[in-house]
């Protein structure tokens, strides 16, 4: 089993330490009571990311994808909060990636898992990441009975590089899912946002679902593009040609885009041992 060595492969953006006094937040994601976000910011720099709103909370604003704040003493804060919290389902993470490369050195996520291992009864953990460093904690995640998901948006690695320049390629994320499943970690996949002109290129969606099934994934959740204005601007800058035209068409006719996406997903999943759900 291999995993990322923790180096920042996007050119050495420095991480800034910030003091963390509270870490367990109420979660707006359906099905979850709490979220944990060990970092503020994310160096994946995904063009479609909704968390770009966090830029405005910095004293010196920087473009999304170019800053990372490390929540020091997050584990200590969680250890204080858990005994007073009502049991519930925890989502790791909602506005950052817990396993982006900086985690290799900072180990904030690891510290949170160590606290969760001693949590009172009634808490459960679901992880969502694009980072291969999650493999480092496979034994711990299995012990916690955590569900670990990988986000995938583009079947082709070249397309993923255009819209997720700091993340590992799609092919590597698929391999990570297979490696996690092989050591007994419960896995799932989040396909989203599935971008018009990219998810459907060259029959890629059917290929992606076949590869997920081959990796042992049985639960798949899919989402469409939510057209937040700043995300749309970033996508327009990242895309060109057919994919740019498909984006503009989806923005003009969002209902038709969603209907087609549902149809494409159902057709691609047909005959495969996958449980498919939608968030749109």
| DSSP codes of every residue in 179-238 | HHHHTT-EEEEEEEEE-TTTTTGGGHHHHHHHHHHHTT--EEEEEE----HHHHHHHHHH
Weakest-pLDDT range from 122-131, 172-181, 226-235:
226-235
Asked if pLDDT for residue 202 goes beyond 90, the answer is no
Q: For residue 277, what are its two tokens?
A: 């759900």
Nearest to 199 by CA among 246, 146, 241: 246
- Residue 12's pLDDT band, with cuts at 50, 70 and 90, is very low
pLDDT on residue 64: 67
Asked if pLDDT for residue 126 goes beyond 80, the answer is yes
pLDDT on residue 234: 93
CA distance 184 to 208: 22
Asked if pLDDT for residue 3 goes beyond 80, the answer is no
Asked if pLDDT for residue 73 goes beyond 60, the answer is yes
- Residue 105's pLDDT band, with cuts at 50, 70 and 90, is very high
Full-model pTM: 0.92
- Residue 57's pLDDT band, with cuts at 50, 70 and 90, is low
Using DSSP, state whether 142 is helix, strand or coil.
helix
Beta strands in the chain (DSSP E): 15-19, 24-26, 34-36, 39-40, 68-72, 89-92, 124-129, 147-152, 186-194, 219-224, 275-278
Percent of the chain with pLDDT strictly greater than 90: 85
108, 38 Cβ separation under 8 angstroms: yes
pLDDT on residue 16: 87
Q: What is the mean pLDDT of residues 203-232?
A: 96
């Amino acid at each position: 089993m291999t995993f990322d060595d923790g180096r920042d492969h996007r050119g050495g953006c420095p991480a800034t330490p910030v003091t963390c006094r509270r870490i367990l937040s109420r979660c707006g994601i359906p099905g979850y009571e709490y979220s944990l976000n060990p970092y503020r910011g994310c160096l994946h720099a995904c063009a479609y990311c909704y968390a770009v709103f966090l830029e405005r909370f910095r004293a010196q604003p920087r473009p999304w994808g170019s800053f990372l704040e490390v929540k020091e003493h997050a584990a200590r804060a969680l250890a204080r909060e858990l005994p007073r919290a009502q049991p519930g389902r925890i989502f790791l993470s909602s506005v950052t990636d817990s396993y982006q490369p900086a985690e290799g050195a900072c180990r904030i996520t690891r510290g949170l898992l160590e606290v969760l291992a001693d949590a009172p009864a009634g808490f459960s953990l679901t992880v969502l990441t694009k980072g291969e460093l999650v493999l480092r904690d496979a034994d711990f995640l299995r012990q916690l009975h955590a569900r670990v998901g990988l986000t995938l948006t583009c079947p082709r690695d070249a397309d993923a590089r255009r819209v997720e320049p700091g993340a590992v390629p799609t092919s590597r994320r698929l391999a990570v899912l297979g490696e996690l499943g092989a050591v007994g970690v419960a896995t799932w996949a989040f396909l989203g946002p599935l971008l018009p002109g990219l998810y459907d290129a060259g029959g890629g969606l059917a290929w992606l679902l076949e590869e997920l099934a081959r990796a042992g994934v049985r639960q798949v959740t899919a989402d469409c593009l939510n057209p937040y204005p700043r995300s749309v601007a970033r996508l327009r800058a990242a895309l060109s040609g057919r994919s740019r035209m498909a984006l503009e068409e989806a923005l003009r006719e969002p209902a038709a885009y969603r209907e087609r996406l549902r149809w494409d997903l159902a057709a691609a999943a047909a005959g495969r041992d996958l449980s498919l759900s939608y968030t749109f």
